[in-house]
Amino acid sequence: MGLSFIDTVIVVAYLTGVTVAGIIIGKNQRTSQDYFLGGRRLSWWAVGFSIVASETSTITFISVPGLGYSSTMQFLQLVFGFFIGRMIVSTVFIPAYYRGALETAYDFLGKKFGLALRKFASSVFLVTRVLASGVRLFTAAIPVHLITGYDYVTSILIIGIFTLIYTYLGGLKAVVTMDVIQMCIYLGGALAAMILILQRLPHGWDDVVRMATAGGVNKFRIFNFSSGQSLQEFFSYPYTFAGGVIGGTFLSMASHGTDQLLVQRLLGCKTRKESQQAIFLDATFIVIQFAFFLILGLCLFAFYNGLSVNQLGLRSSDEIFPKFIVENLPVGITGLVVAGVFASAMGSLSSAISSLASSTFLDLVRESVRRELQALNREIFWSRIMTFGWGAILIGGAMLFINTSHTVIEMGLQITSFTYGGLLGIFFLGLLSWRSSQLDATIGFIVGLLTMVWIVGWTTIGFTWHTCIGCAATIIAGTISRFVRVGMFSHKHSFTDGKV
């Protein structure tokens, strides 16, 4: 199915609009701080909504309704953990960041442990972000492919190229501004789809409730207090109350406290207080948004009379909402929803490109050539070169996931959880332990990463536990290293004093 002329005009107008906006907003940028931090003059409410748009992506827009369709609302347990984790970031991480006048999340590690660990942590972030953002970009191509008939490669290129243009030209200020607009567009599109579903059901919302509670299964169920038949079973299922809340808390602390994708925005606020206001706005809104998309999935379940994914002729639940868009939305509304798909994809992709470029330039490159860049006034030039390079890499990375059949939201969370635990662990070592050295933190980080290699490769532990386990392994290993190092140092001095 292709888009009608009116729908095509809507989508083209949107793509053209964001490009022009990037050109306008990108004027008068002189330094890398202007380009990557918006000159530290960003409004807290814009940053809050920008974070929502950055972490939403098409994974939420497409995959969360699919989860609601094929399962229950137990995913919200993870979201409640997200809220708790953000509150901890607000009270523990943000004050530490603003005391140091930092430019990236890993700048904190550099000031605490040394430049080598800053570069190591930044490099790990770069690899993880490329893979996770590749999943997100591929997800965006699913509905574009189904609706327009373009193949996945073409769909990825359309989204990637237009996003890269306005990110390249406008920097973080353009990214944040467009994030707010794009959030309104994708939520408006999803809301229009839900209203249409309810109008087409004979009894509206009553039919949703009836189908969601039929056959002894309550799809409105949120909490799962089951501990399973064994300890292995308890840790294997991700959506238990303990796994969801604890896992969500640690995952949120890692994403909003150590991931440059989101920390970059928090550092762009004018003051610490405004940064904390931004993250509170994000924490509150994200709970509402996930609940909305899960309920949208229940509405789709009622619309399709509870048919399974296979009965609908689909590969996975991720294709259910795109199927509805293709087959049921009227002219005009289809264009709005497709623009919403582009908006959710471009919001997260632009954030990924900007954060990768900022971390590369500020953490890995600038210190070694600072004088030359300042003397030649070339900071903006090289900042944009980094942006262009990472944009191209992300577009290529998305091609790697074209043949996957996994649920993309879980795959995306698994990728980020792989390294989040180690990153969160060394940040805690820096925040809570004044005696840990660069060696201790590095040993802890490596042990945390190796632990996750074992967890992912040789166990069935659910992804919600990954960040927590990786963080604990990092802190324990780093602490043991400190005690061993201090003990050996004390023993050496005692031996020397006795000899004298």
Domain ranges in the chain are 5-403
Closest CA relative to residue 342, chosen from 62, 79, 96: 62
Closest CA relative to residue 55, chosen from 465, 323, 401, 355: 355
The pLDDT score that the predictor gives to residue 77 is 94
The residue behind tokens 């659910």 is 462
Q: Are 79 and 286 in contact (CB under 8 A)?
A: yes
CA–CA distance from 405 to each of 342, 351, 401, 402 (Å)? 22, 26, 9, 9
* DSSP 8-state secondary structure symbol assigned to residue 104: S
For 4-18, write each residue's pLDDT tens digit: 888 888 888 988 888
Q: How many residues does the structure list for the chain?
A: 500
Rounded distance, CA 216 to CA 206, Å? 17
Torsions phi, psi of 456, nearest 5?
-75, -40
Q: What is the CATH number of domain 5-403?
A: 1.20.1730.10
Q: Are 90 and 276 in contact (CB under 8 A)?
A: yes
Q: Which two tokens stand for residue 305?
A: 């009379």
Q: 3-class DSSP state for residue 42?
A: strand
Low-confidence ranges of the chain (pLDDT < 50): 376, 495, 498-500
For residue 51, the surrounding DSSP H or E stretch is helix 44-58
The pLDDT score that the predictor gives to residue 368 is 63
Tell me, what amino acid is at 484?
A: V
Tell me, what amino acid is at 398?
A: A
Q: Are 146 and 314 in contact (CB under 8 A)?
A: no
Please compute Rg for the chain using Cα positions: 23
Sign of the alpha-carbon dihedral angle for 350, 263, 471, 79: negative
The pLDDT score that the predictor gives to residue 2 is 64
Which residues, other chains included, contact 10 with Cβ-Cβ below 8 Å and sequence gap of 6+? 332, 335, 336, 338, 339
Q: Are 349 and 19 in contact (CB under 8 A)?
A: no
Rounded distance, CA 181 to CA 439, Å? 45
The pLDDT score that the predictor gives to residue 426 is 92
Q: Roughly what angle, to the nearest 10 degrees, separates helices 241-258 and 76-88?
A: 40
Q: Which two tokens stand for residue 290?
A: 């996930």
Torsions phi, psi of 107, nearest 5?
-60, -35
pTM for the full model?
A: 0.84
The pLDDT score that the predictor gives to residue 415 is 67
For 57-101, write each residue's pLDDT tens digit: 666 777 899 999 999 999 999 999 999 999 999 999 999 888 866
Closest CA relative to residue 278, chosen from 287, 268, 293: 268
Rounded distance, CA 465 to CA 450, Å? 15
Q: 3-class DSSP state for residue 428?
A: helix
Q: Are 250 and 471 in contact (CB under 8 A)?
A: yes
Which residues, other chains included, contact 365 with Cβ-Cβ below 8 Å and sequence gap of 6+? 382, 386
Rounded to 5°, angle at Cα 249 from 247 and 250 = 70
Burial bucket for residue 91 (CB in 10 Å: 0-12, 13-18, 19+): exposed
